[in-house]
């Protein structure tokens, strides 16, 4: 479907492990979302969002990342982004309002499944902060995905309160 299926250009496992070791944080905030809702191509198989295989693969990838981010004892907070709402022609199908609304709860479930393996991980659903009454909030995400400066401030304030910081 036009997606790049080449190996990653960076070694995020090594880079993230090095970063948490160097910085020795008390808290790590990881904002995950739209990219993580895409279908996956793993070991020659296409894993469709919502399938049991997709759930397991996404949960395992997030569990691995969470273990790295919390490896020095930091509290890890995962903020799962609200559903996208792009409507412009040519945008990825995963970011259409209908698909994003279907896929984002599945991502939240997979991330929550991964987070349940560690007492030091908290999962937050940012749709609680920006989907009032709908996720179509151009004041907070002008393109339907990325935060505006005001949107970033609003979500940061919400994360601070919801995370108990």
CB 79 within 8 A of CB 155: yes
The pLDDT tens digits for 41-100 are 888 899 999 999 999 999 999 999 999 999 999 999 999 998 888 777 788 888 888 888
What does pTM read for this prediction?
Answer: 0.87
Using CB atoms within 10 Å of the CB of residue 67, give its burial: 0 to 12 exposed, 13 to 18 middle, 19+ buried.
middle
Whether 109 contacts 55, CB under 8 Å? yes
Q: How far is Cα of residue 4 from the mean position of the Cα atoms in its chain?
A: 19
What pLDDT is recorded for position 143? 86
pLDDT in tens, 93-119: 888 888 888 999 999 999 999 999 999
E-strand stretches of the chain:
27-32, 40-42, 45-47, 75-80, 121-125
Q: Are 101 and 84 in contact (CB under 8 A)?
A: no
């Amino acid at each position: 479907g036009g997606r790049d299926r080449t190996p990653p250009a960076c070694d995020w496992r090594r880079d993230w492990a090095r970063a948490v070791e160097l910085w020795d944080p008390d808290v790590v905030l990881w904002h995950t979302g739209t990219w993580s809702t895409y279908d996956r191509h793993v070991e020659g198989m296409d894993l469709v969002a919502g399938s049991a295989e997709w759930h397991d693969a996404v949960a395992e990838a997030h569990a691995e990342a969470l273990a790295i981010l919390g490896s020095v004892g930091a509290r890890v907070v995962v903020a799962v982004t609200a559903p996208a709402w792009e409507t412009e022609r040519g945008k990825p199908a995963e970011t259409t309002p209908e698909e994003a609304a279907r896929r984002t709860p599945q991502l939240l479930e997979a991330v929550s499944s991964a987070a349940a393996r560690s007492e030091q991980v908290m999962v937050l659903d940012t749709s609680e902060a920006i989907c009032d009454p709908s996720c179509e909030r151009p004041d907070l995400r002008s393109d339907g995905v990325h935060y505006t400066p005001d949107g970033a401030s609003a979500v940061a304030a919400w994360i601070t309160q919801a995370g108990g910081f």
